[in-house]
Amino acid sequence: MKSAILQTATRYLLPILLLFSVFLLLRGHYYPGGGFVGGLVASIAFVLHSFANGTKATMKILRYKPLSLIPIGLGTAACSVIFPLAFGLPAMTGLWLEEPIPVIGMIGTAIFFDLGVYLVVIGVVLTILFTIALEE
C-alpha cells in the first residue's frame, strides 16, 4: 500500500527525525536521552521510510547492511571503555577534553560509548525489522 501523503511526509520527516535522534544522543549525558533512545528514534525514521516506500528502497538508501553497524558500534563502545587504560586509570573512567567544542559541547569518552550504543541499537532494530519485512 503506497500513499502519496505518507511518501511526501516521510521525505521531510526522515531528516528531521535523524537530526532529532542526534540531538537526543548528545543531550543524554545530563538530561533524559542518550544513545539508546537516540538509536530507537533513528531506526524509527528508517522504519517510517520503509512503510512509505517499501523495504527494498530503504535498504538502497542505507547502502550497507544494518548488521554491519553492530560490530562498529560494539567496537566503538568497547574502545571507549578501555581507552583510560592507556593513561594508567581504571577501565571506564570518564576522560574529558579541556576545552568545549562549539555546538557539541564537552567531548569525553562517555560520548563515544553512547555513540556505540546508538549504532548498535540502529543495527539491531533494523536487522530484526528488515528480516521480518522481507519474509512476507
Partner 1 sequence: MIDNHILAPIFIQLFVAIIQLIFWRKTITQRYLSIGGSIIGLLVAIRLFSRVYEGGILTMNAANWDAPFGIVFVADTLSVTLVLLTSIAALSVSLFSSVGLSRQRMLYGYFPIFHFLIMGLNGAFLTGDIFNLYVFFEVIIISSFVLMTLGGRKAQVEGAVKYMAMNILASTFFLTGIGILYGLTGSLNMADLSLKIQEVQNKSLIGITSCFFIVGFGIKSAVFPLYYWLPSSYHTPPSAVAATFGGLLTKVGIYAMLRVFSLIFIPDDFTRNLLLTIAVFTIITGAMGALIKTNIRRLFSYLIVCHIGFMIGGIGMFTKVALMGTIFYLIHDIIVKTNLFLIAGLIRQLRGSMDMKKLGGLYRDYPKITLLIAIVLFSLVGIPPLSGFWPKIYLFQEAFTQEQYFYVFGLIVGSFVTLYVIAKMWSEVFWKQPDNEQDIDDRFEPMPLYRKILMVLPIGILALTTLYIGLNAETIVHVADRISTQLIDTSAYVQAVLGTK
Report the interface residues with partner 1, using CB under 8 A: 67-68, 70-71, 74-75, 78, 81-82, 84-85, 89-94
Q: Do 67 and 58 contact (CB within 8 A), yes or no? A: no
Query: How far is the C-alpha of 101 from the C-alpha of 121, rounded, in Å?
Result: 26
Which residue, 19 or 89, is less far from partner 1 as judged by CB?
A: 89
Which residue, 40 or 70, is less far from partner 1 as judged by CB?
A: 70
63: alpha, beta or left, given left = phi > 0 and alpha = psi -120 to 50? left
State the nearest-atom distance from the C-beta of 25 to partner 1, in Å: 20
Which residue, 89 or 134, is less far from partner 1 as judged by CB?
A: 89
State the nearest-atom distance from the C-beta of 134 to partner 1, in Å: 16
Residue 92 C-beta-side C-alpha neighbours within 13 Å: 0
State the nearest-atom distance from the C-beta of 130 to partner 1, in Å: 15
36 closest CA partner among 124, 129, 130, 131 = 124
State the nearest-atom distance from the C-beta of 72 to partner 1, in Å: 8
